[in-house]
Structure 1
């Protein structure tokens, strides 16, 4: 494998603090690398440096000038006044410009037939029909339909999906992705996994989604206290090897600490003015002291805030109904919440998950039905959009605005500063400005403020976005021991599986289905339901007393199998001929193109039926 891009002796600082120095990293063709590390370690900065968004303070990035890098920012920015179409379709790409003109034209209810025929000819001439299909598939998966819409009118999540769509369409030599699964529903994440693992793509990404990380990446690179550690394998392998490394580091640290103590005693015994000290030994002392100071004890967040007392009545939803612009979002939904309910809220983007949460918490009054909340119910609502912090305010003042002292689950009262320390905000960060925090650190601060309210009804709407995996592990530990009601909205399948015992599934037509089980169990039940009709069909055709050995084909079935085997290559030839004909048409009209396309679609349908029947007979 050849190295596509490399960082040599890289060093960079942020707000006068070095994130890393003398860092060296190489990405080879076909490597799918996950960059992991705690929030604030410099992961996003390293991605931007490798994507050549700005230059490092020290060292250099080495790559071939012809290598194209596609970069997905955590929070993409766009040129003012651009429409979706302006952004997606590159001016330098003739095929894309033809597709842009064609897509814009067919959005018109009455397209000009002469222009349409011209575009058909040019698209065929430039072999762009397959490319047009790929682009439409990507845009559709990302929920992008109205190409003339101004980007400024999109939400943050829609902008992230638009930026990802553009990158997938361009298909660069190197994909550099910062949290690519944020704002995607689970179906789209699973589709993206298949797309990124097809072919021989080279990928460097940061993600908190452990299922996605395991399914996509074959190399883990950890950024820890300014140093790089490489692991060839999946996430489980990384965890195993990391624990071994940390154990070795701990042993080395203790040895250095003991040696430093002896050397310190030696330094203190020697008179300051005396020049007989060994200079080499003095230099070794300061080097050892530096190494020991660099090492910080592994900290962990202790989430054990007090929960408010919960009464018998918690929350009742009685025949709730809600619609927006004649579209049914929730249709006649009822549920009585019980103590220790652990509910995952699932559904595609736009099916009404946030609407249901806003009805539950009283931000929206439903058009129909009644919401009855218990007197002792205290909500803790972690919203997907986060909190709008004053960037020029100190972190500790953000917390003190809620409370100077906080009561913990064990009855102990601690100060705002002590709580921040538990949440991995050291004194220097506590007294620094909010603007100096990373995206993940801001989300951690938001989560802390929610838990400070001592809720007994906790709602987490996409809590995993931008949090590091270490923080997620501790959050999971807290949620496992949380005795109140939990509603979790997350595209993180790992978190849904671990935390939910019941699902509310937003079907998209106003219906809310209740499923008892976690997400993986739900998906398995869907697969089983698909297989049941076929299994039932086979079961009814075979007597219950029949032996378990496979039957031989009858004469009629054998003849059918032979006919199917001869028909398959015939269909393939017919499809190929029609496809070539479609590409060679120079002066055609819409009806001719449509007729040929319909014929190809009919043949593809026939091929699917023939293949399914052939496989069924072959298995016998």
Structure 2
């Protein structure tokens, strides 16, 4: 049974066509995810399919006897309502019955109250309010009487999600439903959608979520929609096959085009009509080959500032807001190449901890000691406040005109933007014209261009497309500094972190060795007992708990007063500055010799190059050790 169909949809913004003559359908029981690159038009397509935006051409049809629920990225509310009233403002027969019942009670209309009670009984709506409270609680909203006007953007999105879920529509349309949810809320939503027999159409970049919820993937690519029957893993396999076949076809088309181009050049200007069919075929082939494109690949090969041996020490850190304790005597010493995931329910203090580590917020007590060579790169959950009327190229040039790459090469702002998939025309667009994902990619560029060696990433996966996420993951895996990550993307965290800080409430932080899935499996294996009983505390500290240590349970002994930091001499300062240039020069020479070695040569040359590489490695290691030694005094 067809629930929704779209025929020949076209949508254009200015001179840019997002899609043309696009045809698509959703049948009963389908759980479809639309994926694609940032700026490809996914949100626009979803809005058109939901009836919230008209297409330039084409028709969208919904089955008349079904109900449709739509969650967009920027939900709107009447700010005069409370959270509960906002959820009850949704549309469903049960909600109509609840509203009628509440109105009859308020007006003391006995006849209306009797009718409302009959309807409530008929629709089994008596426990509706408790269902709403439970759903809001699972999504991280505990106070249902707080005004909507007091909510953050993420909280408003969760209330909107509860409003659309409680309606239990026949067709559920969701735009990035996992954004602004903590990990437990995502798992609740995942389970809710898996146990629901309804029909789902959504846009999401959460790979675990896609794999576990969807049975069909539709990729919007180059204005065309490619549909795959299967989950996300199946989609990846078939997408690779399609792109391989397309590349082969393009190569053939280009070979044919070159031959036909030569034929066209050899013809006299006044052609006879007998060859007109071949001229027409040439024009078609020209359009076909020029229309194909290589998406390119995000290039994050940026230079990192060298990191000394002393990085970041946290001693007895405490922070509270009113009666709520977020951190209580937290201790940790960051080590080189630390990759830490920070997890906990919303409101537990994850952002507060990151703001304290970066010096943006003062702790109530405790001490944070930052090494002299540490340079933070803080990617915040909040989008950068950039002038909407400023061009993209100007935004980057305000930070730096030229930047150095990891291999020592220098690139201009224009070249760097190209590496971040902003083509020439996009570089001169105003910020206001960028999609949400493009703005986040620009924000990531502005963080990395400062050459940080300690990255703190607060929800870096929000609004980034899957291709960008894969490249970002590869960059972070090879990043030679420290990384602290908060993310709702379980795949992203599982791939990158080697241990997690778990904010458990009441100021307690647990340092668990392993990624998020390791921690979740350990936590689920623990006996289900009440946290307040002595038996629970004993069990929680049993044999299985030996691998998960509470950081605050082992406070460090008061350290003796540190010796006064020695100031470097003028000679040491000059040596320190010279060493960095010498190391860069050695690394550049090593790259050149490796290129010669890979290109091949005479036996004597190969031997000499191999010996030179060995000597270069020794020199780089020796000078790096001396550089790190001097860095302690800088």
TM-score category of the 2 structures, normalised to the smaller one: 0.7 to 0.9
- Counterpart in the other structure of 2:262: 265
CA separation of 1:42 and 1:298: change in aligned 2, threshold 3 A: same
Which of 479, 482, 487 matches 2:479? 482
Question: How has the CA–CA distance of structure 1 residues 132 and 424 changed in structure 2, closer, same or farther, with 3 Å as cutoff?
Answer: same
1:184 is matched with which residue: 181, 184, 205?
A: 181
In the superposition, the TM-score normalised over structure 1's length comes to 0.81
Give deviations 1:597-617, integer Å, cap 9, x for gaps: xxxxxxxxxxxxxxxxxxxxx
Worse overlay, 191-200 or 437-446: 191-200
SS in 2 for 1:129: coil
Query: Which residue is equivalent to 1:426?
Result: 423
- Note if contact 1:15-1:436 (Cα within 8 Å) is conserved in structure 2: no
Per-residue deviation, residues 353-374 of structure 1 (Å, max 9, x unmatched): 0000001000011001111111
Residues 332 and 45 (structure 1), Cα distance of their counterparts in 2 relative to 1, 3 Å cut: same
Q: Conserved in 2, the CA contact under 8 Å of 1:502 and 1:517?
A: yes
Give 1:509 shift.
1.4
Match of residue 156 from structure 2: 159
Match of 1:72 in 2: 71
- Deviation, 1:142, is 2.1
Report the counterpart of residue 584 of structure 1 in structure 2: none
Structure 1 CA distance for aligned equivalents of residues 167 and 526 of structure 2: 38
CA contact (8 A) 1:85 1:100 kept: no
Counterpart of 1:89?
88
Partner of 1:452: 449
The equivalences for 1:327-342 within 5 A come to: 327-342=324-339
Residue matched to 2:210: 213
The aligned runs of 1:392-431 (5 Å cut-off) are 392-431=389-428
- 1:57-206 counterparts in 2 under 5 A? 57-90=56-89, 95-96=94-95, 99=98, 127-206=124-203
| Counterparts of 2:116 and 2:245, CA distance in 1 | 66
| Unmatched runs of 5 consecutive residues or more in structure 1 | 107-111, 538-620
Name structure 2 gaps, 5 residues minimum.
Answer: 530-534, 540-634
Give the structure 1 partner of residue 384 of structure 2.
387
1:78 CA drift (Å): 2.7
After superposition, the C-alpha distances for 1:245-295 in whole angstroms (9 at most, x for unaligned) are 111101110111011111111111112223345221111111111111111
Distance 1:178 1:92 in 2: 19
Whole-angstrom distance in 1 between the partners of 2:123 and 2:528: 42
Contact 2:319/2:326 (<8 A) preserved: yes
Contact 2:72/2:175, CA 8 A, preserved across alignment: yes
Cα distance, 1:75 vs structure 2 = 2.2
Residue range with higher mean Cα deviation, 74-83 or 446-455: 74-83
Distance 2:491 2:180 in 1: 16
Aligned mates of 1:383, 1:349 — CA distance in 2: 15
Instruction: Say how many residue pairs are matched.
Output: 527
Residue aligning to 1:351: 348
Report the 3-state secondary structure (helix = DSSP H, G, I; strand = E; otherwise coil) of the residue aligned with 1:466.
Answer: coil
- In the TM superposition, residue 103 of structure 1 has moved relative to its aligned partner by 9.6
Partner-residue secondary structure (3-state), 1:237: helix
Is the aligned partner of 1:505 residue 2:502?
Answer: yes
Distance 1:399 1:237 in 2: 39
- Residues 307-327 of structure 1: CA deviation (Å, up to 9, x unaligned): 111112111111000000121
Task: Tell me the distance in 2 between the aligned counterparts of 1:68 and 1:100.
Answer: 19
CA offset digits 1:503-542 (Å, max 9, x no partner): 11101211111111111111111123238999x99xxxxx
- Between the aligned partners of 1:226 and 1:91, the Cα distance in structure 2 is 34
Q: Contact 2:101 / 2:117 at 8 angstroms: preserved in 1?
A: no
Which of 237, 242, 245 is residue 242 of structure 2 equivalent to?
245
**Relative to 1, partners in 2 of residues 1:385 and 1:17: Cα closer, same or farther, differing over 3 Å?**
same
* CA distances 1:312-346 after superposition (whole Å, capped 9, x unpaired): 21111110000001210100101111110000001
The structure-2 alpha-carbon separation of the partners of 1:126 and 1:517, relative to structure 1 and needing over 3 Å to count, comes to: closer
Structure 2 matches for 1:304-343, cutoff 5 A?
304-343=301-340
Q: 1:180 to 1:103 in 2, by over 3 A?
A: farther
CA–CA distance in structure 2, aligned partners of residues 432 and 93 of structure 1: 43
Q: Which runs of 4+ in 1 moved over 4 A?
A: 91-95, 97-104, 117-126, 531-534
Q: Could you state the TM-score of these two structures normalised by the residue count of structure 2? A: 0.79
Equivalent position SS for 1:507: strand
Name the CA distance, whole Å, in 1 between partners of 2:494 and 2:161. 26
- Distance in 2, matches of 1:68 and 1:120, equals 22
Distance 2:99 2:479 in 1: 52
Shift in alpha-carbon separation, 1:170–1:254, aligned structure 2, 3 A: same
* Residue 22 of structure 2: aligned partner: 23
Higher relative contact order (CA 8 A, sep 6+): 1
On the 8 A contact 2:316/2:329 being kept in 1, the answer is yes
**Contact 2:79–2:147 at 8 Å: present in 1 too?**
no
Once the two structures are superposed, residues 197-251 of structure 1 have per-residue CA deviations (whole angstroms, 9 ceiling, x without a partner) of 1232111111111111111000011111011111111111111111111111011
Structure 1 counterpart of 2:39: 40
